[in-house]
Amino acid sequence: MDVLALATTFFLVFDPFGNVAVFHSILSRLPEERRRRVLIREMLIALAIMMLFLFGGERILGFLQLEPATLSISGGIILFLIAMGMLFPARSLMTEASDDEPFIVPMAIPMFAGPSAIALVLLTTTKYPDQWPMIAVALIAAWAVSAAILIASPLLMRFLGAKGTRALERLMGLILILVAVQMFLDGVAVYQASLSS
């Protein structure tokens, strides 16, 4: 297993550049002295949720009676839809105005630890059940870089501007489409192999 490639995939799924503008919009309604603390808290909650699926993913799959091929195909579809949303953005329900301080929803879930990230964690732990330390390293590394980008989002917004941030997100969306298609094809191959055996 290539840890760097896996960490890069996690990073693409977390889509920190795509979340910069939305997170900035949500946090702008809070007092400036609380914004960073709320963001760090939400990122830690997201990491805890993903680690829960990392260590309990096999039991969850067993309980739901899901095969690895099913997870790979559905994970590829989810990633593809997420990537299409990055390339062709639409107005999100998550951007609705609210004066409440965000707690878990929408920042930790589903904007950071969303269905695609959880599906990727489950898929990877199913494919490499004995390599959970490497998966954890890749997950934490991608999380740390993504969290740092989001914490530095005010500086990024000023430096890149809205157009620069949008261009980076679209580039990440293109790469994520390739990852999603490969994941889908891997699932189809595993399913065909199970039928022929």
3-class SS of residue 6: helix
The pLDDT tens digits along the chain (197 residues) read 789 999 999 998 898 887 777 777 678 778 878 889 999 999 999 999 999 989 987 787 788 887 777 877 887 887 788 778 777 766 443 444 445 677 887 788 877 887 778 888 988 988 888 899 999 999 999 999 999 999 988 787 778 777 887 787 788 778 878 878 887 888 888 888 888 86
CB 134: neighbour CB atoms within 10 A?
Answer: 16
CA 115 vs. chain centroid, Å, equals: 8
0.75 exceeded by pTM: no
